[in-house]
Amino acid sequence: MPHSDGANKPWSMKKIKEINPQTILDCGTGSGIYLDLIREHIGASVVVVGIEAWEPYIQEFNLNERYDKLFQVDVREHDNFNYDLVIFGDILEHMSKEDAIALWDRVSKQAKYALISIPIIHYPQGASFGNPYEIHVKDDWNTQEVLDSFSHIIDHQVFEITATFLAKFD
């Protein structure tokens, strides 16, 4: 689905405001919900770059016109994570645990902060809207497994379906 659980968004926006990023990379933009929230709660002065692998979403949600820059690529193939904040909004469950950890390791060497939103219950999902990137490859993350798997997490909040985690890198 090109949308995500809304319960975690107020906490996420509070944390984003606290760290006051000037540059943000939104990985797996979907419909652009994080962009809309950032523009509404933080403002237009923040540079927001998006990554979306599924070209039909780029067209349907007008992503090229809405983001400051947009890359059409699988995030695992992207190489520049040099941003104040990298957002993984309901995306890490769409890859193997090994791929998610390898991606996180690369991000931790370039970004200042990262935000993860991820389902923390058994949450299978298929290729919604014909999009193979929507398949939940690892559909059984839990809060402790996320904390154990991803380094530098400084804060998190658990919701009914998802949990959101904030990491700060050195």
- pLDDT tens for 37-85 read 999 999 999 999 999 997 988 999 999 999 999 999 999 999 999 999 9
What confidence tens digit (pLDDT) does each residue in 8-35 have? 889 999 999 999 999 999 999 989 999 9
- Of 139 and 114, which is predicted with more confidence? 114
Strands 162-168 and 85-89: unpaired
Report phi then psi at 89, rounded to 5.
-90, 95
| Res. 2 pLDDT band, cuts 50 70 90 | very low
State the pTM of this model.
Answer: 0.92
Q: Is residue 135 pLDDT above 80, yes or no?
A: no
pLDDT mean across residues, the chain? 90
* pLDDT of res. 136: 59
| Res. 123 pLDDT band, cuts 50 70 90 | low
As given in the structure block, the two tokens for residue 22 are 């000037």
Report phi then psi at 150, rounded to 5.
-115, 120
Residue type, 116: I
Helices (H), the chain: 9-19, 33-41, 55-60, 63-66, 97-108, 143-149
Closest among 143, 159, 136, 16 to 83, alpha carbons compared: 16
- Residue found by looking up tokens 């996420």 in the block: 12
- Give dist(CA 121, CA 143) in Å, integer: 9
* pLDDT of res. 1: 42
- Of 102 and 119, which is predicted with more confidence? 102
| Res. 133 pLDDT band, cuts 50 70 90 | low
The 3-state DSSP class for residue 24 equals strand
